[in-house]
Amino acid sequence: MPQADRTPSSSRVNITLWILVGILAAAVVATALQKGLPLLYPELLEVGALERPCDLRQSDCEVRFQAGGRVRFAIEPRSIPLVTPLALRVELTGLDAESVEVDFAGVDMNMGFNRVRLEAQGGSRFAGQGTLPVCVRDRMEWEAKVLIATPDGILAAPFRFTTDR
C-alpha cells in the first residue's frame, strides 16, 4: 500500500491553508459581532429620568425626557412574581414611536438577554407579555428599560423594581 508523500512543501501548504481558514473564521466572527451588538445594545438618543421615586409593585410609574415626552409603565400582577407571565403596559405622551420593547436586566447580576417586543394597541398604548427568570437570590433588584424606537433614534426609560423568591 503506497504511503502519502509528506514533503516539506505539502506541510507548508497545509499550514498556510489552516492559517487562511483561521483568518476567515475570525473575519466571520468579527462581522457577526459588528452587526449583532447594535441589536442587543442599541445606541441611545436619550435616557430619561424618573419623575419621582416610584414602586412598580404599588402603581404605574412615569419617566420624562428632556427633549419632551413621557413614558408610563405598568407591570401586572403587582407582586411581580418570577417565572410567571407578566402583563406589560406602556403609554406614551408626546412621542412618535415606531416600536416599543422592554428589556429586563439584573442590576447587579447578569440574567441573560430578556427583551420583549410590545404590540401597538392603538393610539400611544403598547402591551405585551414577559417573564422574569428565577434567581438564586431571595431578593433581586431589576431594571426594566422601556426602549422606544422613534424616527430620530432610540429613547430609553429605566424603571427599577425588586422581586422576592
Instruction: Give me the pLDDT at residue 103, please.
Output: 95
Instruction: Give me the pLDDT at residue 65, please.
Output: 94
In contact, 116 and 105? CB cutoff 8 Å: no
Instruction: Give me the pLDDT at residue 120, please.
Output: 96
Give residues with Cβ within 8 angstroms of 138, minimum separation 6.
Answer: 164, 165
User: What is the total count of domains within the chain?
Assistant: 2
**68/128 same-domain check:** yes
Instruction: Give me the pLDDT at residue 41, please.
Output: 59
**160/149 same-domain check:** yes
Instruction: Return d(Cα 165, Cα 146) in angstroms, integer.
Output: 24
Instruction: Give me the pLDDT at residue 28, please.
Output: 82
**149/160 same-domain check:** yes
Instruction: Give me the pLDDT at residue 4, please.
Output: 56
Name the residue range of residue 14's domain. 1-41
**149/76 same-domain check:** yes
Instruction: Return d(Cα 123, Cα 28) in angstroms, integer.
Output: 42
**140/73 same-domain check:** yes
Instruction: Give me the pLDDT at residue 25, please.
Output: 85
Q: What is the largest CA-CA distance in the chain?
A: 84
**87/158 same-domain check:** yes
**35/94 same-domain check:** no
Instruction: Give me the pLDDT at residue 125, please.
Output: 98
**56/85 same-domain check:** yes
Residues of the chain falling short of pLDDT 70 = 1-8, 33-42, 51
**104/159 same-domain check:** yes
In contact, 82 and 133? CB cutoff 8 Å: yes
Instruction: Give me the pLDDT at residue 62, please.
Output: 95
**79/144 same-domain check:** yes
